[in-house]
């Protein structure tokens, strides 16, 4: 592993943590969001991008294999998707309160894993990898912002703080969170479809209920169930936020837990 790659990664970790502190200090001391927060997110994402690029150049393939690969690639993609949301959907900015610590935790987790790159299996040499992973990241990115909003809303609901008054109204944030979940559902569906096409080519079956497929399907179903629950009953808003958090937890388990604890083809080379 290159020293420069490591340096940019650790720099990204440090900046994500700094951004988290700036963000929470703003809430606790009831200050408006400073411009440095946006700047620090940009810097952190950029540093992660440079680290990935260096790794890529050295290994000759993208970060798809090890737990470190996946955490680093998520640090960049989720950070980037959140950055776009932060810049384009201004009212979703309160989500940063939970998104930034989560990204920081993910970065710290990555720092504890084995960073050595491994070879890519032959079945990964397909455009389907890009489509499947790409739509999956978009799903997780959208789900992450929804999670951030739901967590902020739950906190605002249970711990009244002056800093919350600076945020848009609860109903607006709630609606926004569900918008993110709705679009995330579309991307999750695309992830399942592209995954099935790839699995058919690579392993000769489009669906096999292996650990990862099962948990991905469970996440999709629970997300569909939550969207249904909202149109079926007039549930209290907090119940909805809990559902969003549950879906996000399932998604994280599927993306970061299952592939590294099961021995299936998704784990890589067999």
Partner 1 sequence: MFQSALKPIQSLASLKLSFVAMAALLAGILYSYFDQSQSVLWLAIPLLVLAVNLLFAMVYNPRIRQNSGLLMFHICLLALALLAALGQLTSMKGRLEIMQGQVFDSKQVTVVQQGPWHSLQALNKIVFEQSDFQVDYSQGLRRGATHSQLLVNGESFVVGDNLPFNHQGYRFYTTSNKGYAVMLAWFGKDGKAIQGAIHFPSFPLYDWKQDNQWFTPAGQLLNMTFISNKQVALNESWQLDSSQASGSLQIETAPGVQQILKPGQRLKLQGGELEFVEVRMWMGYSVFYNPWLVWFFAVSLVGVFGLTWHYYLKLGSRKIVTRDTDSVRAEHVINNA
Cα distance between residue 53 and residue 56, in whole Å: 5
Establish if 209 lies at the interface with partner 1 (CB under 8 A). yes
Q: DSSP code of 26?
A: H
Sequence-separated (6 or more) residues with CB below 8 Å from residue 143: 180, 181, 184, 247, 248, 251
**Binding mask of the shown chain, residues 128 to 167, with x at each position contacting ligand HEM by CB under 6 A:** ----------------------------------------
Task: Give the one residue of 228, 236, 239, 261 binding ligand HEM; rule: CB under 6 A.
Answer: 228
Establish if 66 lies at the interface with partner 1 (CB under 8 A). no
The angle, 0 to 180 degrees and rounded to 10, between the axes of the packed helices 170-203 and 127-158 is 150
The angle, 0 to 180 degrees and rounded to 10, between the axes of the packed helices 67-88 and 127-158 is 60
CA dihedral sign of residues 177, 179, 180, 185: positive
Establish if 218 lies at the interface with partner 1 (CB under 8 A). yes
SS3 content of the chain, % helix, strand, coil (to 5): 80, 0, 20
**Binding mask of the shown chain, residues 185 to 224, with x at each position contacting ligand HEM by CB under 6 A:** x--------------------------------------x
Cα distance between residue 146 and residue 138, in whole Å: 12
How many CB atoms are located within 10 Å of the residue 207 CB? 13
What part of residues 77-96 is at the interface with partner 1 (CB under 8 A)?
87-91
Establish if 193 lies at the interface with partner 1 (CB under 8 A). yes
* Binding site partner of 60, from ligand HEM, partner 1, none, Cβ cut-off 5-8 A by kind: none
* Binding site partner of 18, from ligand HEM, partner 1, none, Cβ cut-off 5-8 A by kind: none
Cα distance between residue 78 and residue 86, in whole Å: 12
Q: Given the complex with partner 1, which of 111 and 168 has the nearer CB atom?
A: 168
Burial class (CB in 10 A: 0-12, 13-18, 19+), 154: middle
Q: Given the complex with partner 1, which of 4 and 162 has the nearer CB atom?
A: 162
Cα distance between residue 156 and residue 150, in whole Å: 10
Cα distance between residue 248 and residue 177, in whole Å: 12
Supply the minimum distance, in Å, between the C-beta of residue 105 and partner 1: 27
Task: Measure the CA dihedral 185/171/79/81, to 10°.
Answer: 50
Supply the minimum distance, in Å, between the C-beta of residue 55 and partner 1: 18
Establish if 202 lies at the interface with partner 1 (CB under 8 A). yes
Task: Give the one residue of 88, 116, 127, 231 binding ligand HEM; rule: CB under 6 A.
Answer: 231
Q: Given the complex with ligand HEM, which of 104 and 145 has the nearer CB atom?
A: 145
Q: Given the rule CB under 6 A, which residues bind ligand HEM? A: 182, 185, 224, 227-228, 231
Q: Which residues bind partner 1 (CB under 8 A)?
A: 32-33, 87-91, 118-119, 121-123, 125-126, 128, 165-168, 176, 179, 182-183, 185-186, 189-190, 192-193, 196-197, 200-206, 209, 211, 214, 217-218, 221-222, 224-225, 228-229, 231-232, 269-270
């Amino acid at each position: 592993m290159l020293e420069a790659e490591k340096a940019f990664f650790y720099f990204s970790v440090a900046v994500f943590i700094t951004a988290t502190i700036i963000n929470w200090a703003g809430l606790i001391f009831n200050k408006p969001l400073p411009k440095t927060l946006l700047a620090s997110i940009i810097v952190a994402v950029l540093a992660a991008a440079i680290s990935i690029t260096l790794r890529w150049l050295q290994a000759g393939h993208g970060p798809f294999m090890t737990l470190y690969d996946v955490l680093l690639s998520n640090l960049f993609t989720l950070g980037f998707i959140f950055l776009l949301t932060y810049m384009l959907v201004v009212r979703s900015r309160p989500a940063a309160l939970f998104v930034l610590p989560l990204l920081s935790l993910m970065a710290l987790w990555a720092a504890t894993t084995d960073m050595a790159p491994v070879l890519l299996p032959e079945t990964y040499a397909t455009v389907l990898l890009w489509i499947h992973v790409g739509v999956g990241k978009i799903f997780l990115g959208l789900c992450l912002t929804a999670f951030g909003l739901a967590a902020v809303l739950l906190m605002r609901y249970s711990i009244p703080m002056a800093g919350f008054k600076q945020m848009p109204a609860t109903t607006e944030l709630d609606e926004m969170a569900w918008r993110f979940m709705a679009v995330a559902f579309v991307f999750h569906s695309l992830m399942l479809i592209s995954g099935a096409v790839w699995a058919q080519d690579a392993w000769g079956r489009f669906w096999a209920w292996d650990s990862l497929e099962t948990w991905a399907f469970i996440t999709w179903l629970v997300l569909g169930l939550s969207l249904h629950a909202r149109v079926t009953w007039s549930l209290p808003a907090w119940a909805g936020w809990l559902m969003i958090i549950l879906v996000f937890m399932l998604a994280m388990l599927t993306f970061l837990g299952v592939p590294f604890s099961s021995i299936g083809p998704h784990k890589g080379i067999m």
